[in-house]
């Protein structure tokens, strides 16, 4: 009952949440917590599939391990559209232009589904060729192709569900998607063993069953999400005519969303390139790195929550013309993120060995895992600062700046230092490069924000909205 009452309390408080006046810390927390929980739940999708396919066979487990990064890459191509829609909805909501917010949401869903369908078709026909680049057995290749082809066909529903999450967040509501997410993962967990192993009249489908289970769960979640977003009293009151593709809106969404898609694709590429460098070390070093990354990723949920909350609050305050409050929101959130994550870092640093020992009892792996955490966790606070200001730039609509900061941090700073560090001192060189890039990224984001050039972009955004032709704002 305690957890339920807490969620109900947050739900109730979000009904009357005002992001453009009053306290800053309180709405930040109320917005961020459900996002953190939602991200945790999203990871369960992969864990459930991995668990059941791990029981089914080694080849299936290897195939799905290989398929996840490629599935993420396909999604990242369309990922910018939901982010762009969230920004426009937040700015319109902050300016109390609720018809404009509904139109932005409708156009985001329309173009998101179109984009998801186009990318999905390309993925369906080309994943087989892409997988030939990997040194894998014919059986793993066949399984991975089957999984990715089904996931490609389901890409429109995945993009649609991500759009629902993003657009609700842009309107200031991060709690409504929670029960939908919980229902979706529950359905996926129930369908997985039935479709993978077969049950009653349902045939044994193996890895195809896992893909179909995810496809089904996400499709139903997207439909429920669209109902909550456009029909229920908690959503945006969009009209059918607002869903008709509008070229002016298509250009706006592409202009805002393309940098985020590039950022996400670059992030995925940099992760894989770093793995190539780490893969040159011993198995124990690779395993220690894997454990360290899992620990860092759990902290990442908090930073993503803060970043998304800042994005929404910044967007709404820009829409309301309250530039000073938008500035204060970013600085206040950065201080909160740095302080709270540094406290977590101290605790993690002290308990690094027991934490790593939870995953393995191999002495060499423990040694490398502890070394990784001892170098990287002191920079937790800097990760929080980096993601806070990246969220702020997105809220203003400066997604190109956000992408440049992220790609510079990961590609220009982290990867070269990792390569040279690996040659010079071994695995510790990679750990050090991650720590350095986190610090430099935070300093770069803070310095860019302090320059104040984003203010001109915010003013231009408001001017563009006020002079936007009718067919781009409220009608076709």
Residue 464 has pLDDT above 70, yes or no: no
- Per-residue pLDDT of 396-406, as tens digits, reads 888 889 999 99
pLDDT at 139: 87
Higher confidence at residue 434 or residue 65? 434
Position 437 pLDDT exceeds 50: yes
What is the rounded average pLDDT of the residues 364-387? 93
One-character DSSP codes across 104-132: HHHHHHHHHHHHHHHHHHHHHHHHHHHHT
DSSP-assigned letters across all residues of 291-305: HHHHHHHHHHHHHHH
Residue 67 scores a pLDDT above 90: no
Range with lowest mean pLDDT among 217-221, 291-295, 363-367: 291-295
- Higher per-residue confidence, 136 vs 208: 208
Does position 146 have pLDDT exceeding 90, yes or no?
yes
What was the pLDDT predicted at 113? 94
**Rounded distance, CA 174 to CA 27, Å?**
11
Residues 6 or more apart from 346 whose CB is under 8 A from it?
none
Please tell me the distance from the alpha carbon of residue 174 to that of residue 32, in angstroms, as a whole number. Answer: 8
pLDDT exceeds 90 at position 95:
no
pLDDT in the model for residue 454: 66
**Of residues 224 and 234, which shows the higher confidence score?**
224
Check residue 1 and give its pLDDT.
44
Return the pLDDT at 16. Answer: 60
pLDDT digits (tens, 9 = 90+) for 41-59: 777 767 777 778 877 887 8
The rounded Cα 343 to chain-centroid distance in angstroms is 24
Of 26-30, 295-299, 437-441, which range is least confident?
Answer: 295-299
**Which tokens is 338 given?**
């740095």
Quick check: 176 and 234 in contact, CB under 8 A?
yes
Distances in whole angstroms, Cα of residue 167 to Cα of each of 25, 83, 159, 226: 22, 8, 12, 10
- Mean pLDDT, residues 383-389 taken together: 95
199 strand-pairing partners? 202
More confident residue, 466 or 132: 132
* Average pLDDT over every residue of 194-198: 93
Of these ranges, 24-33, 91-100, 115-124, 128-137, the one predicted with the greatest mean pLDDT is 115-124
pLDDT class of 471 with cuts at 50, 70, 90: very low
* Band (390; pLDDT cuts 50, 70, 90): very high
Band (116; pLDDT cuts 50, 70, 90): very high
Span 165-175, average pLDDT: 88
Whole-angstrom CA distances from 266 to 76, 312, 363, 415 are 9, 24, 35, 12
What does the pLDDT read at residue 475?
35
Above 80 in pLDDT, residue 3?
Answer: no
Where residue 15 falls among pLDDT bands split at 50, 70, 90? low
Please give the mean pLDDT across all residues of the chain: 85
Report field, pTM of the whole predicted structure over 0.85: no
pLDDT for residue 190: 93
pLDDT at 398: 87
CA 67/CA 311 separation, integer angstroms? 31
pLDDT above 60 for 465: no
Token representation of residue 25: 């810390």
Residue 472: predicted pLDDT: 40
pLDDT at 419 over 90: yes
What's the pLDDT score for residue 463? 55
- pLDDT digits 0-9 by tens, 278-322: 878 887 888 888 788 878 877 777 888 889 899 989 988 888 888
- The answer to whether the CB of 432 falls within 8 A of the CB of 376 is no
Q: Is it the case that residue 360 has pLDDT exceeding 60? A: yes
């Amino acid at each position: 009952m305690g957890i339920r009452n807490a969620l109900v309390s947050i739900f109730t408080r979000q009904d009357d949440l005002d992001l453009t006046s009053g306290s800053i810390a309180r709405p930040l927390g109320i917005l961020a917590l459900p996002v953190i929980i939602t991200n945790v739940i999203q990871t369960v999708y992969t864990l459930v599939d991995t668990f059941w396919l791990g029981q089914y066979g080694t080849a299936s487990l290897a195939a799905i391990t290989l398929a996840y990064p490629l599935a993420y890459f396909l999604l990242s191509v369309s990922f910018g559209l939901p982010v762009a829609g969230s920004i426009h909805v937040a700015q319109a909501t902050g300016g109390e232009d609720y018809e404009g917010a509904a139109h932005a949401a409708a156009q985001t869903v329309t173009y998101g589904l179109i984009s998801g369908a186009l990318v999905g078709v390309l993925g369906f026909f080309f994943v087989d060729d892409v997988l030939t680049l990997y040194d894998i057995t014919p059986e793993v290749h066949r399984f991975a192709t089957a999984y990715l082809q089904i996931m490609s066909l389901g890409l429109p529903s995945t993009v649609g569900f991500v759009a629902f999450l993003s657009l609700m967040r842009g309107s200031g509501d991060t709690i409504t998607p929670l029960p939908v997410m919980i229902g979706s993962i529950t359905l996926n967990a129930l369908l997985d063993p039935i479709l993978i192993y077969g049950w009653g009249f349902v045939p044994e489908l193996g890895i195809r069953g896992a893909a179909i289970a995810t496809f089904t769960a996400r499709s139903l979640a997207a439909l429920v999400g669209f109902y909550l977003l456009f029909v229920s009293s908690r959503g945006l009151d969009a009209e059918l005519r607002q869903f008709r593709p509008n070229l002016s809106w298509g250009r706006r969404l592409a202009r805002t969303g393309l940098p985020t898609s590039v950022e996400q694709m670059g992030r995925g590429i940099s992760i894989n390139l770093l793995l190539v460098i780490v893969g040159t070390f011993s198995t124990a070093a690779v395993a220690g790195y894997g454990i360290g990354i899992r620990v860092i990723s759990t902290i990442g949920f908090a930073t993503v929550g803060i970043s998304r909350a800042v994005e929404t609050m910044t967007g709404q305050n820009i829409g309301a013309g309250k530039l000073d409050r938008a500035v204060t929101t970013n600085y206040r959130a950065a201080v909160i993120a740095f302080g709270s994550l540094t406290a977590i870092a101290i605790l993690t640093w002290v308990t690094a060995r027991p934490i790593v020992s939870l995953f393995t009892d191999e002495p060499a792996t423990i040694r490398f895992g502890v070394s990784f955490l001892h170098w990287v966790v002191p920079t937790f606070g800097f990760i929080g600062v980096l993601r806070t200001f990246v969220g702020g730039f997105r809220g203003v609509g400066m997604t190109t700046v956000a992408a440049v900061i992220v790609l510079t941090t990961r590609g220009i700073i982290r990867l070269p230092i990792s390569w040279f560090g690996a040659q010079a001192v071994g695995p510790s060189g990679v750990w050090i490069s991650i720590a350095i890039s986190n610090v430099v990224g935070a300093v770069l984001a803070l310095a860019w924000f302090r320059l104040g050039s984003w203010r001109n972009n915010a003013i231009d955004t408001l001017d563009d909205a006020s002079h936007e032709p009718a067919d781009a704002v409220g009608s076709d």
